[in-house]
Every structure is written in structure tokens, then in C-alpha cells.
Amino acid sequence: MKLANTYCLNKGYKFKNDIRRILLINNFSRLCTEKESSTPFQRSLSSIIHPYIAFFFSFFDGHQSLNDTLASISEEFEIPKNEVERIIFPLINNEEPIKFTLSEGVSAVLPINFLEEGRRERDLIGSIDLDEIIENIDIVTVRNYLPDWMTIMINDKCLTNCVYCYADTGGLENTELEIEKLKAIIDEAYEMDCNDVGILGGDIFLYHRWFELVEYLNSKNYAPILSTKKPIRADEIAKLKSLVYRKLQISLDTVCNQEVESLLGVPGTYLDKMMDTLNVLNEQKIKFSINTILTKYNCEIVNLKKLIRTFLNFEYLEELVIASSEKSFYKGDHFLLSEDQIFQIMAEDFTKDPRVKWSLKKLKEGANIKEDGSTKVGCPGNVKSLNILPDGAVTICEQMFWNRNFILGNVYKDSIKGIWCSERATAKWDIEQRQIQRLSPCSRCPEFNECRKEKGICWAEIVKEFGANNSDFPYPGCVYGLL
């Protein structure tokens, strides 16, 4: 570290006005996709912090040397400079997140590489009125006052009919959000300073105005992930060069013609077209990643090795993620890998190329077991984020599509902010134990508030296990749930 050099808040982080507190969240803006070097940053970040803390670190805005920054903080906060150094130095390129207590029972985190070297000038507080926030401060409530991010399912069109598909058309077909409505949603997300607006299909590249949409996202500083199963034409690939996006993700589950039809429900020619797309991307030096979903129908080791070999040949392939399929609400679980198949894959000696990432979930009594042995997945839906369906319905969980229990409103009838702050949405999060059906062990669980309101719970896992009418049952594998 050099006192004469400039250090700034990691470009992967930013402060957000959450009306009654400040949130330290990810910054998935165009700034984050710039080529200049940056230290790695923690993802899925959302930490409530006091406005004074945001103000303290807002001096790291890339405008002055470290020495001058320390002096400015010391003067503004009337703290001796050596005391400021004691606080700041451990946060420069810190390898571990630093946790601290905000108030009794509430902790906050300053993530890895919190401060990094570089002259990236940013106005970190912008128009946030810190005094107004302090007047109404709330650093305790877990649910955000405004959403951090949203995912928009822009259409329901898809070329394939995958055996493991989790999409539901809700009886609708060929539905898509109008471009003007999409722009209005993006405008509102921008006004609320949402850190991310994700777009999904169906298939993004089957939305006839996809280019205009991504351009508009860029104009509001959003750099989305573009994910597709569609063979993208050369003229479409050429257009990508003028857009800013975080990742181009191609989903392709096999390189064997025999598997294509049974797995993806399309003729074998589909594979040739997808390989053409990958070739053009590579020739055009456009970086891309590939996602491969494994089912019992495409898990033969010899074919898997061929798939890895084929994809790794592409110089511009950034990442190949191979993941196991999950139970689908709509297609059931007949395609899931068996325990034996997972162990067989894990025992095999595959390439050590770091571009290959595995995500194979072991199954036990229907529950997903995480690395720490727990089964619980916290849900960001209606706590930090929301999802918009192609007809404008706003839902807690994109996997549950039009399940009425999880629909919070519709963007054709109300604003995002109106839906987020509505009685229905807040009551859905602020659920009381007496509202739980007596048949459910959650109705008498001592951990109820901590489980449901603080950590959150994956509703989809519960509904998959117990059915749509029993979403107030315990999550699969919950120890209290057995009582």
C-alpha cells in the first residue's frame, strides 16, 4: 500500500438508499464490466449499514491520494489520523470479510477487497439525503424498503422442449412484455437505484426487440447476463459487439446427435446450428460461457468427456458449468441423476482445466444438501428482489410462475414500488405464526421468526415436496419439521 496512491471503494460495491437505512450491495453496472483491472469482489452482497458508515467510506471516491483521503476523514469526523488508519488499513485488499456489530443483535459486513487501488472516480453518495435517512433510521428490519434487484421474464417463447424444463406457460402462449412497459420498468428500477435488472426468457433472443431492450438497459447503466438456447445468427452476433453485458451464457447439454431429440425435444440439426453459433462467437473473439444440465439421459461418461473436450477447444470459452438437473414442478423428476450416477461422475478423472466448474447436488430424501450439511436455502424473493412474468404479474418466485399464493401484483396495474410496498407484499413477508395451518410443524416451532423472517426460506422447495396448498410446511430436511 502506498500513501501517495489512490484507493477507492471496490467497483463491485456501491451504497444504495433504502429509504430508512443504507444498503451496501453489489454494483452490477457497466462500470463493473469495464476492462480495467479490479480485485475480485464478493457476490450476493446485501448488508444494512448506518448512513454514517456510508458517509465515512464515501471519501474513497477515487478523487485523491490515500494520504489526503485519511486526512479528509480525520478532519470531517474529528478523529485522529492514526485512528482513521487503524480502521482503514485492514480494509485495503482484505482477503476476508470483516464483520462488525451495528446494534444489538444486528451485524454488518464489509466484504473482501473492500478498498482497492485505482483512480475510478465515483460519486458514492450521489443524491442520497443522509440526514433524512437518519431521522427515520431502521437498521433492524430484514426486508428491504425497496427491492435490490428484479428479474424480468420478457417472453415465454423457447425453441427447445427440454426434458427437465421448469417453465410453466400458465396456460398462456407466445406472451411477451411490450417494449414500452419494459422500458418503464427499467426506468423505475433505475429511480429506485436497484443494483441489477435481470432479463430471462423463454429466450431473450426470441424477443423481436432484444437489441433495443439491452441497449436501453445499457443506457440506464445496467449490464445484464444474456442467456440463450437459441442458435444466434451471425448478424445477431455482430450486433452484440456494441452492447455491454456481464456474460453471454449459452445453454447446451450435449454434443451427441442421438441425445438431442430425447433430451431437448428438437431435431438433431439443432446441434449443428448451435455449434455454428459457438464457432462464430469464437471467430469473432466474443467471450461466452456454456451451461450444461445433466440428467440421466446425458450422463454417460464417454459422452461427457467428449462434451468437455469439444467445448474446451473454444479459445473464447470463459467457463463451462456442468450442473445436475433439479426437480421440476411441471415435468416431475423422472430425469434426475441417481445417487449412483452422481458418485460415478464424481469418481471420474476429468480435466483439471479451471474453466470447468461442477455443481452436482447430492440428493437425500428429496432435499438438497449444502456443503455445510444444512438443507436450508434463504429466499431473496419479496425480501430483496422480485420477479416479473411475461404478462406483467409480479411474483415472489420465478419458479412458481402463476401460483396465486406468490403473486404480489401486476405491472400493468401498479408501479413496482406500489407493489413492493403493498399490504399484500408486506403481509406475505411479515407472516405470523398463528396464520400457519395446524398440520404444519412450523405452527409450533420455536425458531419460527428467525427461520421465516430473518433467514428466509425457499418456498419452491417446500411446494415441490408438499404441494401448492402446503407452502407453510417446513422446508425439506428441517429438523424441527420432524417433531
- In the complex, which residues of this chain contact ligand SF4 (CB under 6 A)? 377, 379, 381, 397, 399, 441-442, 445, 447-448, 451-452, 458-460, 474-475, 478, 480-481
Which cell numbers in the block locate residue 228? 440463450
Identity of the residue, 330 or 343, whose beta carbon is nearer to ligand SF4 in the bound complex? 330
* Coil/strand/helix, residue 206: helix
Identity of the residue, 212 or 447, whose beta carbon is nearer to ligand SF4 in the bound complex? 447
Identity of the residue, 38 or 374, whose beta carbon is nearer to ligand SF4 in the bound complex? 374
DSSP-assigned beta bridge partners for residue 332 = 328
SS3 content of the chain, % helix, strand, coil (to 5): 35, 20, 45
Identity of the residue, 227 or 254, whose beta carbon is nearer to ligand SF4 in the bound complex? 227
Identity of the residue, 13 or 459, whose beta carbon is nearer to ligand SF4 in the bound complex? 459
Give pairs for 244-248: CB < 8 Å, separation 24+. 244/30, 244/33, 244/218, 245/33, 245/214, 246/28, 246/32, 246/33, 247/288, 247/289, 247/318, 248/281, 248/286, 248/287, 248/288, 248/289
Identity of the residue, 192 or 458, whose beta carbon is nearer to ligand SF4 in the bound complex? 458
Please count the other Cβ atoms lying within 10 Å of the Cβ belonging to residue 10.
Answer: 26
Least distance (Å) from ligand SF4 to the CB of residue 162?
A: 18
End-to-end CA distance of the chain: 55
Q: Which helix (H) or strand (E) holds 308?
A: helix 301-312
Rounded alpha-carbon distances, angstroms, from residue 451 to 35, 94, 109, 428, 470: 41, 31, 21, 14, 17
Which cell numbers in the block locate residue 53? 458508515
Which cell numbers in the block locate residue 51? 448512513
Identity of the residue, 200 or 260, whose beta carbon is nearer to ligand SF4 in the bound complex? 200
Least distance (Å) from ligand SF4 to the CB of residue 420?
A: 15
Of the candidates 150, 158, 172, which has an alpha carbon nearest to the alpha carbon of residue 390?
172
Residue indicated by cell numbers 404441494:
467
Identity of the residue, 73 or 460, whose beta carbon is nearer to ligand SF4 in the bound complex? 460
> Contact, 386 vs 150, CB < 8 A?
yes
Identity of the residue, 217 or 445, whose beta carbon is nearer to ligand SF4 in the bound complex? 445
Identity of the residue, 170 or 441, whose beta carbon is nearer to ligand SF4 in the bound complex? 441
Identity of the residue, 56 or 166, whose beta carbon is nearer to ligand SF4 in the bound complex? 166
Least distance (Å) from ligand SF4 to the CB of residue 299?
A: 24
Of the candidates 147, 227, 239, 156, which has an alpha carbon nearest to the alpha carbon of residue 185?
147
DSSP-assigned beta bridge partners for residue 356 = 320
> What is the greatest pairwise CA distance in the chain?
72
Give pairs for 305-313: CB < 8 Å, separation 24+. 305/350, 306/255, 306/256, 307/254, 307/255, 307/256, 308/350, 308/351, 308/353, 308/356, 309/351, 310/255, 311/252, 311/255, 311/278, 312/351, 312/353, 312/355, 312/356
Encoded amino acid at 433, one letter: Q
Rounded alpha-carbon distances, angstroms, from residue 366 to 303, 339, 363, 472: 27, 11, 6, 18
